[in-house]
Amino acid sequence: MKKWVLLAASLLASPAMAADPKADAARIDAVFDKGYPQLEMLYKDIHQHPEIAFHEVRTAALLAGKMRKLGFEVTEKVGGTGIVAMYRNGAGPTVLVRTELDGLPLLEKTGLPYASRYTQEIDGKVTPTMHGCGHDIHMSWWLATAQALLAMKDRWHGTLMFVAQPAEETVEGAKAMLKDEAFKRFAKPDYGFAAHVMPYPAGTVLLKEGAVTSAADAVKIVFKGKGAHGSMPADSIDPIVIGAHFVSDVQTVISRELPPGTFGVITVGTFHAGTVENIIPDSSELRLTLRSHDPEVRKQLMAGLRKTALAAAAMAGAPEPDIAYLYGTGVTFNEVKLTETVARKLKVAMPEQVTLEPDYKPAGSGSEDYSEFVNAGIPSVFIGIGGSSQAVLDQAKEEGRKPPVNHSPFFAPDPEPSIRAGMKALTLSVLSVAGVE
């Protein structure tokens, strides 16, 4: 009898009797296959109606309704247009799964039959909008992940905290939700997961330990001059020339002040001055984005920008420019041990699709305000999901160019494999911390 008891105990403890990631993946695929026609309709609807930062009223209402039908307790208007949806399934960790809501002020040029022709009024101007970063894909796999986890309630215990965040494109939405005390009003998550579609082969999954994205800072500079007739430049202090000197000279902060190989970016994204060709204006306005991986480099870029702006104005005999810090966000970090835990599960469940990069690999140059949730003390993993179809990749290679990237008016992820991979990666990630073994 004793031998039979020992044998039973050994069988229960054996790895073969433990949770099988491949079996979990098969169940997730079954949920996806059953629900994809409706997910595709949702994706195309959202794609055709992109709304910009803090104006995502229609989008938020659509997702809130979907989550209520699944049985989540949904609170809207958190941090503006944000959503927090809670679902409790016994004792266990609280796990955050985040998506973004906003699109871009961009004219879509993909030629898709469901391309956006939507417009919104921004500062009194009607502007075309596009989901040029893939947040429509993210919202689709966010909902699909919720569907999968509810269909697999026997596989996990705890509380789901599904967050739909506004204004990621301006890196202001996460801060707004935290300022609205999302983590106090609902719960402070024990773990957090998010994913982003990228111009990699569709369906691939990339995890990286440590720093994943760069810090971002937005700055506005107004150079002050002296207006005059275009034929009389000697009577002016030309703010366009001052701005032009600055645009050129500020790049020496990167090339001459940072050690070789150190990551740093200073990009002048807008330069506005003047009204007609024969008037020298009295001011010019520039807006910039700065990107960095290291806190000290971040400070150095800001200091170098300021020094260069002051010098450009002084050289022209102009007053000091107005330099205004607009907004910013820090580096997104993947907690190393949690990333390894998730990667182990994903590599078993979808071995041909998953790549894990170590901490020493450099982070990406793009930025994410998901960092605000991470830096609020949430151990997290931010996952990259490939979205480019093989046809798109082959055509780009044949034409000797790179495939369209995020924020391109031609960026068009392949929905089915992208949403499936994102849903599977996020669902398995939640099971890696809340799963019942």
- Summarised one tens digit per residue, pLDDT across range 275-315 is 999 999 999 999 999 999 999 999 999 999 999 999 999 99
Radius of gyration of the chain (CA): 25
Confidence of residue 15 (pLDDT cuts 50, 70, 90): very low
Specify if 90 maps to a domain: yes
Specify if 12 maps to a domain: no
Above pLDDT 70, what percent of the chain? 96
Q: In terms of domains, do 222 and 206 share one?
A: no
Q: Mark which of 278, 300, 329 sits at the end of a domain.
A: 329
Q: In terms of domains, do 313 and 337 share one?
A: no
pLDDT at 381: 98
pLDDT at 359: 82
Q: In terms of domains, do 204 and 352 share one?
A: yes
Specify if 186 maps to a domain: yes
- In whole numbers, what is the pLDDT of the chain averaged over residues? 94
Q: In terms of domains, do 105 and 122 share one?
A: yes
Specify if 4 maps to a domain: no
Instruction: Output the domain CATH number for residue 194.
Output: 3.40.630.10
Q: In terms of domains, do 305 and 342 share one?
A: no
Question: How far apart are alpha carbons 324 and 318 in whole angstroms?
Answer: 18
Specify if 277 maps to a domain: yes
Query: What is the count of structural domains for the chain?
Result: 2
Q: Find the mean pLDDT for residues 329-358.
A: 95
pLDDT digits (tens, 9 = 90+) for 24-60: 999 999 999 999 999 999 999 999 999 999 999 999 9
Specify if 3 maps to a domain: no
pLDDT digits (tens, 9 = 90+) for 191-230: 999 999 999 999 999 999 999 999 999 999 999 999 999 9
Q: In terms of domains, do 39 and 177 share one?
A: yes
Q: Find the mean pLDDT for residues 360-373.
A: 92
pLDDT at 181: 98
pLDDT at 18: 52
Question: How far apart are alpha carbons 295 and 197 in whole angstroms?
Answer: 27
Specify if 14 maps to a domain: no
pLDDT at 362: 86
Confidence of residue 437 (pLDDT cuts 50, 70, 90): confident
Above pLDDT 90, what percent of the chain? 92
3 state SS for the chain: CHHHHHHHHHHHHCHHHCCCHHHHHHHHHHHHHHHHHHHHHHHHHHHHCCCCCCCCHHHHHHHHHHHHHHCCEEEEEECCCEEEEEEEECCCCEEEEEEECCCECCCCCCCCCCCCCCEEEECCEEEECECCCCHHHHHHHHHHHHHHHHHCHHHECEEEEEEEECCCCCCCHHHHHHHCCHHHHCCCCCEEEEEEEEEEECCCEEEECEECCEEEEEEEEEEECECEECCCHHHCECHHHHHHHHHHHCCHHHHHHCCCCCCEEEEEEEEEECCCCCEECCEEEEEEEEEECCHHHHHHHHHHHHHHHHHHHHHCCCCCCEEEEEEEECCCEECHHHHHHHHHHHHHHCCCCEEEECCCCCCCCCECCCHHHHHCCCCEEEEEEEEECHHHHHHHHHCCCCCCCCCCCCCCCCHHHHHHHHHHHHHHHHHHHHECC
Q: In terms of domains, do 80 and 225 share one?
A: no
Q: Mark which of 329, 361, 382 sits at the end of a domain.
A: 329
pLDDT at 95: 98
Which neighbouring-strand residues pair with 324? 220
pLDDT at 200: 94
Q: In terms of domains, do 338 and 282 share one?
A: no
Q: In terms of domains, do 113 and 182 share one?
A: yes
Q: In terms of domains, do 181 and 64 share one?
A: yes
Supply the range of the domain harboring residue 258. 215-329
**What is the reported pTM?**
0.90
Specify if 6 maps to a domain: no
Q: Above 60 in pLDDT, residue 404?
A: yes
Q: In terms of domains, do 282 and 393 share one?
A: no
Q: Mark which of 329, 364, 388 sits at the end of a domain.
A: 329
Q: In terms of domains, do 55 and 199 share one?
A: yes
Query: What Cα–Cα distance (Å) separates residue 17 from each residue in 21, 120, 269, 401, 433?
Result: 12, 55, 56, 49, 18
Instruction: Output the domain CATH number for residue 244.
Output: 3.30.70.360
pLDDT at 8: 35
